[in-house]
Copies of this chain bind each other. A is one copy, B any other.
């Protein structure tokens, strides 16, 4: 991997990432079809380089999503002649995404609730 290093140097504990990866990947795909490497660079860009997804993380996830019918794959030759695997979110995938979003919102709100309730005491 040769991702350009952005200016942001804040490191997020890896374990915080756990569980949100699928949400992020499906979110990316909900806008347009993308290929793996592109998701990594796009995710880094959109998150101000907070998320530096590893290939060893992404590809198994994509295969899992495909196995569960949440994304579909097709090989496409780009204008430059390079053949890539493009992933597209399915209807089932959009449902799963909605569910994940709800989960995320609930999780986020309750973490904040605990953190804030404590700082008030």
Contacts and interface: CB of A to CB of B under 8 A. Distances in A.
Number of copies: 2
Interface string A33-59: 000000000010011101100000000
A12 B118 contact: no
Given A15-B18, A110-B48, A110-B51, A115 B103 contact: no
A28 B118 contact: yes
A24 B117 CA distance: 11
A47 B112 CA distance: 9
B103 A31 contact: no
Contact of A13 (B19, B110, B117): B19
B19 A14 contact: yes
Contact of A111 (B24, B102, B106): B24
A114 B24 CA distance: 7
A16 B107 contact: yes
A10 interface: yes
